[in-house]
Amino acid sequence: MTISKTTFNKTIIIKIAGAIGVIVFWFLIRDYLVSGSNVMAERYEFKVSKDSLMKVVTNFNDRQTGTQVDSVFFIDKGNPNFYEGYALSSRDQDSYLVMIPVAEGRETELQLISVTNLQTDSTIGVNHRPENKAEVRLRKMVIKNFEERVLDHLGLPYKHVGNAMNKVY
């Protein structure tokens, strides 16, 4: 049994189209996979290594508290794909829960998950889809405060890239 040249060419074209389809699909879903369970977390990119970023955040916290610690980041056994840590704004008594993916990426990513006011013990989550305009306003306020009170004082350039759902608040 011989395969005609036309059938052979169609088979090759179908395989190439399938491969291109898989590649396109990967580029469309990669942010969802890389973000893990933090799809709605606000993401910031830095052009430094993970270790350098963690050290800078730890030093920032040391300046806020007047004490020195080795690191404010750890890998949570329940979520081993992220370094979990916090950034403090002592002026406002706010603690921002942040995560850095363990996996290497093009840029080092810092994800804002939530903020807790240490005086009132109230927490505002960022890692969820806002359900109404009031939650959108609250989310925007948390993001603005995080950038002005923490990120702008780290001494590192950063880029706010929104969340894995391609929403920028």
Distance separating alpha carbons of residues 64 and 112, to the nearest angstrom: 19
Output 52 or 165, whichever has higher pLDDT: 52
Q: Which DSSP category does 92 fall into?
A: T
Helical residues (DSSP H) of 36-132, grouped into ranges: 50-65
For 157-166, give one letter per residue: b (16+ CB within 10 A) or e: ebeeebbbee
Based on the number of CB atoms within 10 Å of its own CB, is 99 exposed (0-12), middle (13-18) or buried (19 or more)?
buried
Same domain, 72 and 126: yes
- 109 assigned to some structural domain: yes
Question: What confidence tens digit (pLDDT) does each residue in 9-29 have?
Answer: 666 666 555 445 444 443 444
150 has pLDDT over 80 = yes
Distance separating alpha carbons of residues 113 and 39, to the nearest angstrom: 10
CA distances from 66 to 56, 111, 118, 125 (A): 15, 25, 17, 27
Same domain, 106 and 149: yes
Same domain, 1 and 58: no
The model carries a pTM of 0.75
* pLDDT of res. 106: 79
Same domain, 31 and 45: no
Q: Calculate what percentage of the chain has a pLDDT beyond 90.
A: 53
* pLDDT of res. 152: 97
The residue count of the chain comes to 169
Question: What confidence tens digit (pLDDT) does each residue in 56-85 have?
Answer: 999 999 999 888 888 899 997 877 889 999
Q: How many domains does the chain have?
A: 2
* pLDDT of res. 21: 43
Same domain, 8 and 50: no
Whole domain around residue 48: which residue ranges? 37-162
